[in-house]
């Protein structure tokens, strides 16, 4: 709780109650952590139990008062605090809480001296069943938990906590629309149920319903202004809607409520980085480390700025933390990734690789990735999108020419291309949008149940392609502010090039390329917050690159001229020519701002955000050569592809063997 990790505190406390169900301290700690998570009704269950079993335990009455203060029951809060003091006269800090409750009470209008108790029924009913369901969820048996929630709702259709928990189960299965419907019902029944509003905001963010998510999270702040998580929920919604300055202000409000909250520090730092306020961002991450020395995320966030360098004391702190065997896997990953980048900047490449490798070994164990499935999907795409199929379905899409999609492997220069293009007055940069994938998946669910992507595409009627294009344009509209063209920089969209030709035939597609070993190793070094599960093993990464190359070669073959291939090395070597080439392909007039891309002020969300705010540089070209002795798995996997390139692009030992022959 002191480190701000209420989720972990709740988990430990609830597990403890399984062994010691009547322990007063554990009951109150469970309640406090649940209050911090805005789970007021669950917290109330444990508080009432503590008061019933231990009527002379002052902390139980204090915790009851804390909840009353948050819920606006100020009279009850004052009475409970006074009772707690009578039980433990040495608690002078409780006088401050009483003063605060009285201040809130006096600010109410005479006719509103106390908020009425929430109209929904208290959740003491079915408390045992809900506790049992929570155990099932912790034991990895969500189906049993859902059965309990549904059984409660059969008996009591207005039991809002059961409704909320059933919505949480739907959200876990990514049935966000179902979850939203349930949560709307919950807040209709109980308009002051803060946790339901919080869950509703989170689900609406998943559905990209940004105005609705902001409105729901504003309700959370209104109902629970004493809790930092309320402001964090609002700030998250604002950030998702690209209201970055608003989000910065709201994260700062969260820190005013909870000055050491790691989540508030993290969100604030990320938003400052996104808008280019670099020094402020660095200061915030360092404040987070000072407030929470065992929190590893700010170290990783600092390293992820790419242009940042740690001080010696910070490196020592990270290395010392890594000696702690009690660290969670994600902590190890973040520290190792940060140290890898730091030692790379010091040109200590062997040491850097040791940390990158340890990070990725940890991460790979938690990722689910099947290279065979990936290869099979590439096979089917090549088989389906042949010349005949493309010819048969041509002229079925939407003629809109506004999208510019930048695809490829991560860390291949796509952010640089985006920054160049977004510097044009007619082009709007967004970020790595997930909308195309969402539209495709949604379309797949309307087809035969047994078919998955890409197989269901063969059974689509001709007008389905225009529907797909229209849905993509509608979903991306919220990221645009009126420019003629917009950029979608999701690298994984290379899978959908054939589909795009049919759904949006006038869309422009730019394939960002880089030397395969720079591209792959750059991806290997990047610890992604989520996604890209292929990137944590050198062999799997090489195999993924081969399938990417194979698929792109197919698109070039069946759709000649559709995709513009842009090499990062060419951009670095001859910026002028490549900028003109990009603008010509996108049918845009030449503008000087595109050549001065580093001066463009815009929000950039990717790991390259600080790099693209600098003039062009060549230091990252052929960076892989510093790690050659560690990349045998990768070079062996890519051997056929590499040997087809000029000899100067080969690994040094290959060149030496070739010259000796």
Is residue 549 domain-resident? yes
Q: Is the pLDDT of residue 450 over 80?
A: no
Q: Does one domain contain both 451 and 509?
A: yes
Domain residues for 51?
Answer: 6-112
Which residue has better confidence, 225 or 610? Answer: 225
* Confidence tier at 443 by pLDDT (50, 70, 90): confident
pLDDT score of 601: 67
Residue at a domain's end among 62, 77, 112: 112
Residue ranges of alpha helices (H) inside 207-311 are: 210-223, 228-240, 244-257, 262-274, 278-291, 297-303
Q: Does one domain contain both 380 and 438?
A: yes
Q: Is the pLDDT of residue 585 over 60?
A: yes
Q: Does one domain contain both 653 and 613?
A: no
Nearest Cα neighbor of 317 from 302, 339, 284 is 339
Tens digit of pLDDT for each residue in 34-73? 888 878 878 888 898 898 889 899 999 999 988 887 777 7
Among 114-128, 239-253, 398-412, which is the least confidently predicted range?
114-128
d(CA 487, CA 403): 6
Q: How many independent structural domains does the chain possess?
A: 3
Is residue 529 domain-resident? yes
* Confidence tier at 107 by pLDDT (50, 70, 90): low
pLDDT score of 267: 95
533-567: burial string, b at 16+ Cβ within 10 Å, e else: bbbbbbebbbbbbbbbeebbebbeebbeebbbebb
CB of 486 within 8 A of CB of 446?
A: no
Among 90-99, 200-209, 332-341, 651-660, which is the least confidently predicted range?
90-99
* Confidence tier at 613 by pLDDT (50, 70, 90): very low
d(CA 267, CA 297): 11
d(CA 123, CA 195): 13
pLDDT score of 546: 97
Q: Is the pLDDT of residue 74 over 60?
A: yes
| pTM value > 0.75 | yes
Residue with tokens 């189906």: 143
Residue at a domain's end among 73, 89, 112: 112
pLDDT score of 131: 76
Nearest Cα neighbor of 298 from 324, 260, 250 is 260
Q: Is the pLDDT of residue 495 over 90?
A: yes
d(CA 489, CA 472): 14
CB of 520 within 8 A of CB of 409?
A: yes
pLDDT score of 448: 52
Q: Is the pLDDT of residue 599 over 60?
A: yes
CB of 611 within 8 A of CB of 411?
A: no
Q: Is the pLDDT of residue 348 over 90?
A: yes
pLDDT score of 123: 46
Q: Region 477-494: what's the mean pLDDT? A: 91
Q: Which stretch, 196-200, 274-278, 615-619, has highest mean pLDDT?
A: 196-200
What torsion do the CA atoms of 151, 152, 155, 156 make, to the nearest 10 degrees? -150
Is residue 42 domain-resident? yes
pLDDT score of 108: 53
Is residue 443 domain-resident? yes
* Confidence tier at 614 by pLDDT (50, 70, 90): low
Which residue has better confidence, 559 or 462? Answer: 559
Among 185-194, 335-344, 582-591, which is the least confidently predicted range?
185-194
CATH code (residue 73): 1.25.40.10
Largest Cα separation within the chain, whole Å, is 96
Q: Does one domain contain both 415 and 539?
A: yes
d(CA 216, CA 233): 9
Q: Does one domain contain both 403 and 551?
A: yes
Integer-rounded Cα radius of gyration of the chain: 28
Residue 58: CB partners within 8 Å, gap ≥ 6? 83, 84, 85, 87, 88, 91
> What are 402's two structure tokens?
């506004």
pLDDT score of 623: 93
By percentage, how much of the chain surpasses pLDDT 90? 60
Tens digit of pLDDT for each residue in 515-556? 999 999 999 999 998 889 999 999 999 999 999 999 999 999
SS3 92: coil
Nearest Cα neighbor of 1 from 500, 12, 566 is 12
d(CA 50, CA 31): 10
Residue 441: CB partners within 8 Å, gap ≥ 6? 453
Is residue 104 domain-resident? yes
d(CA 599, CA 620): 21
d(CA 159, CA 130): 11
Q: Does one domain contain both 518 and 641?
A: no
Residue at a domain's end among 112, 137, 153: 112
Q: Is the pLDDT of residue 604 over 70?
A: no
Looking at residue 91, what DSSP letter applies?
Answer: -
Q: Does one domain contain both 649 and 534?
A: no
User: What are the backbone angles phi and psi of residue 24, rounded to the nearest 5°?
Assistant: -65, -40
Q: Does one domain contain both 494 and 575?
A: yes
Q: Region 631-657: what's the mean pLDDT? A: 93
Q: Does one domain contain both 557 and 628?
A: no
Is residue 128 domain-resident? no
* Confidence tier at 236 by pLDDT (50, 70, 90): very high
Mean pLDDT of the chain: 88
* Confidence tier at 10 by pLDDT (50, 70, 90): confident
d(CA 227, CA 258): 8
Q: Is the pLDDT of residue 608 over 60?
A: no
Q: Region 492-509: what's the mean pLDDT? A: 96
**Distances, alpha carbon 336 to alpha carbons 526, 535, 629, in Å:** 11, 16, 20
Q: Does one domain contain both 422 and 569?
A: yes
CATH code (residue 488): 3.40.50.300
Q: Does one domain contain both 40 and 99?
A: yes
Nearest Cα neighbor of 71 from 33, 1, 118 is 118
Q: Does one domain contain both 441 and 466?
A: yes
Is residue 282 domain-resident? no
Looking at residue 480, what DSSP letter applies?
Answer: -
SS3 344: helix
CB of 453 within 8 A of CB of 440?
A: yes
pLDDT score of 52: 85
Tens digit of pLDDT for each residue in 281-337? 999 999 999 998 999 999 999 998 878 899 999 999 999 999 999 899 999 999 999
Q: Is the pLDDT of residue 612 over 80?
A: no
Q: Region 458-468: what's the mean pLDDT? A: 91
Is residue 182 domain-resident? no
Among 157-161, 261-265, 565-569, 642-646, which is the least confidently predicted range?
157-161
Q: Check residue 400 and give left, alpha or beta (phi > 0: left; psi -120 to 50: alpha).
A: beta
């Amino acid at each position: 709780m002191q480190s701000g990790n209420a989720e972990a505190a709740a988990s430990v406390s609830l597990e403890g109650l399984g062994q010691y169900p009547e322990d007063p301290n554990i009951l109150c700690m469970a309640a406090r952590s649940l209050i911090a998570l805005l789970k007021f009704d669950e917290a109330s269950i444990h508080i009432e139990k503590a008061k019933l079993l231990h009527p002379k335990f002052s902390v139980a009455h204090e915790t009851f008062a804390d909840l009353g203060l948050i819920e606006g029951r100020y009279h009850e809060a004052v009475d409970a605090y006074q009772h707690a003091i009578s039980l433990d006269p040495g608690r002078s800090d409780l006088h401050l809480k009483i003063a605060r409750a009285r201040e809130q009470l006096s600010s109410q209008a005479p006719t509103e001296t106390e908020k009425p108790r929430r109209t929904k029924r208290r959740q003491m009913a079915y408390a045992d069943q809900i506790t049992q369901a929570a155990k099932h969820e912790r034991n990895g048996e969500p189906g049993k938990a859902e059965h309990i929630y549904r059984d409660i709702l059969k008996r009591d259709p207005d039991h809002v906590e059961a409704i909320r928990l059933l919505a949480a189960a739907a959200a876990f299965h990514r049935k966000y629309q179902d979850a939203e419907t349930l949560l709307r019902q919950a807040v209709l029944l109980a308009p002051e149920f803060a946790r339901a509003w919080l869950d509703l905001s989170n689900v609406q963010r998943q559905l990209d319903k940004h105005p609705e998510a902001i409105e729901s999270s504003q309700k959370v702040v209104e109902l629970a202004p004493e809790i930092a998580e309320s402001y964090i929920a609002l700030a998250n919604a604002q950030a998702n809607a690209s209201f970055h300055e608003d989000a910065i202000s709201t994260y700062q409000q969260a820190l005013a409520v909870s000055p050491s909250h790691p989540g508030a520090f993290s969100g604030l730092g990320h938003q400052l980085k996104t808008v280019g306020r670099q020094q402020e961002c660095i200061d915030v991450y360092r404040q987070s480390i000072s407030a929470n020395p065992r929190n590893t995320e700010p170290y990783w966030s600092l390293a992820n700025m790419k242009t940042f360098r740690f001080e010696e004391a910070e490196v020592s702190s990270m290395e010392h933390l890594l000696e702690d065997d009690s660290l969670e896997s994600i902590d190890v990953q973040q520290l190792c990734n940060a140290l890898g980048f730091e030692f790379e900047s010091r040109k200590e490449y062997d040491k850097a690789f040791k940390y990158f490798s340890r990070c990725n070994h940890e991460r790979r164990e938690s990722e689910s990735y099947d290279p065979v499935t990936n290869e099979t999907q590439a096979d089917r795409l090549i088989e389906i999108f042949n010349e005949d199929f493309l010819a048969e379905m041509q002229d079925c899409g939407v003629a809109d020419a506004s999208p510019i999609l930048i695809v490829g492997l991560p860390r291949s220069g796509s952010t640089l291309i985006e920054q160049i293009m977004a510097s044009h007055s007619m082009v709007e940069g967004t970020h790595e949008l997930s909308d195309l994938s969402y539209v495709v998946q949604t379309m797949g669910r309307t087809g035969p149940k047994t078919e998955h992507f890409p197989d269901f595409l063969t059974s689509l009627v001709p007008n389905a392609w225009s529907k797909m294009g229209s849905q993509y344009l509608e979903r991306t509209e919220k990221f645009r502010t009126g420019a003629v063209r917009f950029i979608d920089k999701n690298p994984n969209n290379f899978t959908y090039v054939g589909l795009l030709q049919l759904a949006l035939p006038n869309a422009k597609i730019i394939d960002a390329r880089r030397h395969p070993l720079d591209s792959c190793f750059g991806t290997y070094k990047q610890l992604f917050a989520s996604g890209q599960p292929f990137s944590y093993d050198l062999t799997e990464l090489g195999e993924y690159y081969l399938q990417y190359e194979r698929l792109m070669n197919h698109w070039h073959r069946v759709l000649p001229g559709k995709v513009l291939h842009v090499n990062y090395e060419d951009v670095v070597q001859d910026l002028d020519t490549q900028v003109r080439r990009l603008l010509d392909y996108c049918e845009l007039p030449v503008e000087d701002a595109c050549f001065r891309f580093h001066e463009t002020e815009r929000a950039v969300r990717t790991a390259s955000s600080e790099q693209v705010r600098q003039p062009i540089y060549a230091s990252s070209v052929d960076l892989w050569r510093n790690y050659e002795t560690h990349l045998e798995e990768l070079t062996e996997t890519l051997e056929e592809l590499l040997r087809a390139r000029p000899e100067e692009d080969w690994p040094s030992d290959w060149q030496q063997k070739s010259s000796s022959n």
